Structure 1
């Protein structure tokens, strides 16, 4: 059950309130101490104007107090930044750990909707943005907000009219800022989407870099990246065009109070209501009074970006931890039933009203043209997708009622692309069964036709694998993926083009060994070669998301022309031969 509560700042900053409170308090005190040198400067001006024999000694004393004030400011800001940095990195650690933990709890259908670029932004970039704000901007923002308050109090002590005069540009500046920030939330959402697309395109481009180099292609030849860059450039240009004019007006207005303070200060000086030293102090403090708000305005846009990141990764933190003890091992030899199952991708029907029974302990093969919905049907059984309507039952129990742990222990899925983690080959194989013995591991490798090449590796099972298994060929990665799933010994096994990289003989030996080792395993197989599926007890012809025919290989050859045509084409293509003198002959026997 998904939690309704979305984590906010209170959740993210939990446990760090004391450190952040100390950082804020020290920053406020530092902002006050920061004004002391200006008061001391005014006193120095007064000493110089008055003159006298003790002027030099008095100036030395003031210089000493100024140095002490600067040292105090340095120490206060150092302590404030120390506490804010410790809090920031603790927040990053706790948030990333929580994200990884909750990702492991999230249901597969929900998780499969996220692209690698989206996950990268949420787990890495959106979290990383918080560090800069908490570690640096929290102290800077507090100092920037409290500093005008201290200045206002100081001006009030000099003359209340000077204090009010210094604040006159603020309403106009706030109106300019509101104009600048109009529609920022929607623009930031578009920007985040563009970053997601660009991250995904960059990751895909980097993964395909060897292929691109082989064909001498550069980034301009990669359409997805080109489109993502174009969209990103367009959004950035639009944001600049909308915000820069308002920002310029805002900056000018925040410094415009000098045009009011100077005439008023001269008038007060002429009337004897203000001394020369006080006039200097008022002008120094007043003209710089509002400039810290520039930093606040910049931080406001960054805060919106950070809050947008929190809203993006909040759904990842909404999944509760599964209750312990929810693994229910389903007995072997269980039948699988698809009952009126339908599925659509973004309102586009892919499967329509599928009624299919997979007999227990038998092999069912899905065949049909590309795009007919075969992989979608396999993913529905594997729990990677959820049906739009209808039910899938295993042993009479709805698959939707299974916990994630029970589903993983019941249905094993192997796709065409087997992912290999960085680590030893043994760690990769034991992923779904950590307690597996070496005898069980080599038995699974033997069935997967991988034992020989694993034993031939220099370190055998202890051989370290690079990320994504780049040290292995495509066929070797697939066989390791097969062995990993076979080791889990799930009652139901889904093979979606899991032997695509294997030659026909290796593929045939695999299916023979699989059925001999686990005769009671219920199999759903998708394979490119129909010759590998001839021995299946049931072959299902799927076309346009609808089951068109179902039966054994001889039955479909006799009753379904589409299946017979595909069989004939594959049979003939495998009988090609190169004759002497370079003539190409296609056998039609």
Structure 2
């Protein structure tokens, strides 16, 4: 982040803390006063020692000093109460404003950028990294000011007693700073590695929880979940290294902060024996001097924690960079649109996935992508859906580059349905209307009918108004997929991408879906990825991908003759469909 992110080039903390400056300033001022008041009881204690040494000890004066001490304690309580009140109000207002801004900017972030983030990384940025700011603003802003000011107030008071003793009280500081530097060496790199390990562990935990029912069904625990096991092992090893590197330096730092007593005590006694320091002053020096550096322990802890806080701000700051899309008058293309892939290349982490793809999807026709797993079919579909950006080449829709379209125009032009259908908390109707809030009841049931979902939706207890939760537990996996498919169909985008979106269906239901789709929206340009070749054999164009290369294209009869890969896949599927678990007798075969 470099201390700034792109919001008018204002410093990050100024933007995050905007509107809360007076509260934080008030909290700091109260902390400064409280740190000074905290030392007054020790001064009063020194005076009490003087009184006790008198013969006879004036009890009235001692009671008066006790009253002043109680008043100092009460004043310290009041000051810290107001300081923490102001800092906590500021902290939670900052958290509220930051989370609201992150959620708003998240909807503006480019899809390819979001696709690269795992669920664990998003959770860390939007929840954990933001939550850490509460500790900094609500607690550290008060505690660290008090921890820094207390030694300064104490040093000033010691100088008033005897400057030599005051300087001796500071002698361990250089050694303590060296120990802290030793403890902090390489901390930034370790924290980055730690953040990566936490992201992996969060992602693995979320995946494990989502699949807990499946793991339980097979009597498996977290030790059987390889990703979880590896993430835990990495986290354990990293924590072990961090402890081994940090604990010796931290122990030396802690010991050195209290080591000045070894100098103050003999020097103070020597000066007292010479009559240069009174007994009450010696008591004050020993009490204040031996404890004056202890608050720096909190500062040292804060110094390591602030690195995590700054790292968190750096992680979520990119989300706040995305500007609100302009409300332009960009026209959404209408009618039948031709789609072209022109010399498109794409790679994952340097591994080529698609190579020089030149492909035309004719306007108003269905194109089916087939090929073995890993050949790049889904990647090609995601490029058309705007979920990924090509390394080179371009994708055009209706003659317009897809990359030049705004997110709103792209979403209104290209609809994408994948095998993973997410159902939001709300009613069935709420889920359907996400892409088209003004849809009529007739349009709703047309989309449901084409998606082969009308019958089961009408059979629900409250029909369209039946409540669902975010996992759609009232629905089966196939029913969730049909709701997701109907949601995309309802948007009536000119281009529709179906990435195994009909995996819920048997072959007959899948064929009915494609038939109804072509009848309902005959001008829609459709790109289909399907493993059952029998469902797409009537597509106007079938494209064969093999290892990221477009190996052939044509219609079903043509590809059977000239594409060995397609013919092989077709034969295997045909043989699978004819396969039976029992050996059929010749009589059965004749009867069939």
Give the TM bin, normalised by the shorter chain: over 0.9
**Distance in 2 of aligned mates of 1:569 and 1:241:** 58
Of residues 202, 218, 224, the one that matches 2:221 is 218
Of residues 2, 14, 17, the one that matches 1:10 is 14
Q: How many residues align?
A: 586
TM-score where L is the length of structure 1: 0.97
Distance 1:52 1:86, change over 3 A: same
Of residues 364, 367, 391, the one that matches 1:364 is 367
Q: Where do residues 152-551 of structure 1 align in structure 2 (5 Å cutoff)?
A: 152-325=155-328, 327-551=330-554
Distance 1:47 1:451, change over 3 A: same
Q: Is the 8 A contact 1:181 1:243 kept in 2?
A: yes
Residue 46 (1) aligns with residue 13 (2): no
**1:579: how far off?**
5.1
Residue 141 (1) aligns with residue 144 (2): yes
**Distance in 2 of aligned mates of 1:114 and 1:417:** 17
Give CA-to-partner distance per residue, 1:306-346, whole Å, 9 cap, x none: 11111111111111111113553111201001111111111
**Distance in 1 of aligned mates of 2:581 and 2:243:** 64
**1:52: how far off?**
2.9
Distance 1:65 1:487, change over 3 A: same
**Distance in 2 of aligned mates of 1:172 and 1:584:** 96
Residue 34 (1) aligns with residue 31 (2): no
**Distance in 2 of aligned mates of 1:586 and 1:88:** 77
**Per the alignment, in what secondary structure is the counterpart of residue 356 of structure 1?**
strand
Give CA-to-partner distance per residue, 1:169-208, whole Å, 9 cap, x none: 1011101101110000000000000000000000000001
Residue of structure 2 equivalent to 1:22 = 26
**Per the alignment, in what secondary structure is the counterpart of residue 361 of structure 1?**
coil
**Distance in 1 of aligned mates of 2:287 and 2:78:** 24
Give CA-to-partner distance per residue, 1:223-246, whole Å, 9 cap, x none: 000000000000100000001111
Q: Is the 8 A contact 1:326 1:405 kept in 2?
A: no
Give CA-to-partner distance per residue, 1:500-552, whole Å, 9 cap, x none: 11111111111111110100000000011101101100000110111111101
Q: Is the 8 A contact 1:579 1:585 kept in 2?
A: no
**Distance in 1 of aligned mates of 2:258 and 2:177:** 13
**1:454: how far off?**
0.4
**Per the alignment, in what secondary structure is the counterpart of residue 99 of structure 2?**
helix
Distance 1:326 1:313, change over 3 A: farther
| Structure 2 unaligned residues grouped into runs of 5+ | none
**1:576: how far off?**
2.7
**Per the alignment, in what secondary structure is the counterpart of residue 458 of structure 1?**
coil
**Distance in 2 of aligned mates of 1:43 and 1:475:** 83
Q: Is the 8 A contact 1:423 1:464 kept in 2?
A: yes
- Of 562-571 and 492-501, deviating more is 562-571
**Distance in 2 of aligned mates of 1:540 and 1:6:** 51
| Structure 1 unaligned residues grouped into runs of 5+ | none
**Per the alignment, in what secondary structure is the counterpart of residue 578 of structure 2?**
coil
Distance 1:202 1:327, change over 3 A: farther
**Distance in 1 of aligned mates of 2:128 and 2:262:** 44
**Distance in 2 of aligned mates of 1:392 and 1:94:** 38
Residue 76 (1) aligns with residue 71 (2): no
Distance 1:284 1:586, change over 3 A: farther
Residue 94 (1) aligns with residue 103 (2): no
Residue 106 (1) aligns with residue 104 (2): no
**Per the alignment, in what secondary structure is the counterpart of residue 279 of structure 1?**
helix
**Per the alignment, in what secondary structure is the counterpart of residue 333 of structure 1?**
coil
**1:581: how far off?**
8.7
Residue of structure 2 equivalent to 1:58 = 61
Distance 1:584 1:118, change over 3 A: farther
**Distance in 1 of aligned mates of 2:504 and 2:585:** 28
TM-score where L is the length of structure 2: 0.96
